[in-house]
A and B are shown apart, each in its own frame.
Chain A
């Protein structure tokens, strides 16, 4: 068989095969149905397939690492920016913090020894710790109200900080299981490395209520003030928190120094302090001169914006009761168990003083009206005499 014969036979076989296919295959049937020539149908289908594959190929080719299509294909994206209008804590985190702090506070106030002191330091901070230590020191002469307030098993989380600035806060409320007044708690964290601790726990003054804060997810901003942590927004309140507490402290002094046009409404707590001071002055008048001074503790004021635009202002005043013994007099303090426990002195010949912390919470309106006292508590923390 020559080369020509071989080629001729092969071509003939191919023609036969092609003819067979043309007679029998589905493509021909489809072409007849579509009223197209078989070759035209094949060209059209092939063109469509090649176009689809080409498009996908272009997409795949542009999917090599480093190209934008890779990121789109795998869902890779830039990390989102930190939101300044959200809370840095989840609700679960805040609740765990509350549980931890209240448990430590309860253990610290109901047990004794080094472990109790460690628990107190774990639970409280700053003036809150001073007050707790004073309360423990005076437990034998003061009614034990504090521990029962901390037994409350389910504190209500009212507000948490907004944004990633410091200091941060948590506001919570408890209600003693045996009844009594609701307690407002302020927990603070001064920096990223320091855990939240109780700055103050204050009984509410009937019939005060606390209006809602922004959602726990969004957090609540702090209001700028001159005596404590600052926030980015202006005060937007009828009175600046620092000014409010300064004037409130001033009007409680003894001898009395009335504040003209006070930005706060009269309240029972201030009245009790003033009446008490007048009573002490009368009682010791024959033996000593008595003066009472109230000062705002630096960096103690936290003003938390509420959903309505009003603010809840937490602050601590330090009250100093000073006695100047009159010449020739000796004052026996044995009957004053609190002073003896704090100072260790039973006889005073020259001077004496008792330091008391006053924790106050005010509701401050946004535009009109006066600030009203929402919660207040006092705790003697130290004494001295000679």
Chain B
């Protein structure tokens, strides 16, 4: 391989390694040793908040959902099979969590429907539920997916100004990020070493060439 090509490749690899080090280290710091990723959004639109199975069941680790009302009123979180949740909210105004944004830590909310919310608390479709004043939290396992999580006031009163926080925790993510940073470091060290050695050899070559010229003289 020509020296110039080798040096260019070494520079690219060194840059890539440094990028991996920074990105990996940043994710390590962000996730922490527990590998916890958190996303949140505040819904201002009146009605229920729905976390669909596309988000709730997207990862094979339990999802912890917390809902907090700004006015301190009652909050009900409930989880049901997705077809049932769709059926009971078919005509109601809802804000659906349709996606997550990483690393922004935000949830995408999509408002739909316009009907009044019915009192869903008496239905037998809910597998898990949690109720609280001002705030409530629920940890949803993935054993009965697909499921949908619904946040309401616990009666037919429409919710507004509610902050929903979703948290996933997987220690494997932390170690993957750590591995990324370490691999980046190894890559950067090797590439930089190679570049440095190439520079030394070039200098040494120049010196040898100079000596030869002096001897000839």
Contact = CB atoms under 8 A, between A and B. Distances in A.
Interface stretch (A45-53, A123-131, A222-230, A255-263): A45-53
A178 interface: no
Interface string A135-153: 0000000000000000000
A363 B16 CA distance: 73
Contact of A7 (B53, B61, B87, B207): B207
Contacts of B187: 53, 57
A194 B84 CA distance: 11
B170 interface: yes
Secondary structure of the B side of the interface?
A: helix
A347 interface: no
Q: How large is the interface on A (under 10, 10 to 19, 20 to 34, 35 or more residues)?
A: 35 or more
Contacts of A82: 81-83, 146
Interface in B159-217: 170, 172-173, 176, 180, 183, 186-187, 190, 194, 200, 203-204, 206-208, 210-211, 214
Given A50-B190, A53-B190, A192 B87 contact: yes
Given A11-B207, A11-B208, A79-B146, A88 B81 contact: yes
Most chain A beta-carbon contacts within 10 A, residue among B84, B88, B127 = B84
A57 B16 contact: yes
B123 interface: yes
B170 A192 contact: no
B116 interface: no
Contacts of A76: 58-59
A157 to B, nearest CB: 14
Interface in B74-90: 81-84, 87-88
Contacts of A311: none
B54 interface: yes
Interface in B116-175: 118, 120, 122-125, 127, 144-146, 170, 172-173
A93 B145 contact: no
A49 B124 contact: no
28 contacts: A8-B207, A11-B211, A14-B204, A46-B194, A50-B13, A53-B13, A56-B183, A57-B13, A60-B20, A60-B183, A61-B16, A73-B176, A74-B170, A74-B173, A75-B59, A79-B52, A79-B58, A79-B82, A82-B81, A90-B127, A164-B84, A166-B87, A191-B87, A192-B87, A193-B118, A194-B122, A195-B122, A196-B124
Top-6 shortest CB links A-B: A79-B53, A11-B207, A192-B87, A79-B57, A164-B83, A192-B88
Interface of A: 4, 7-8, 10-11, 14, 46, 49-50, 53, 56-57, 60-61, 65, 73-82, 88-90, 93, 97, 164, 166, 189, 191-196
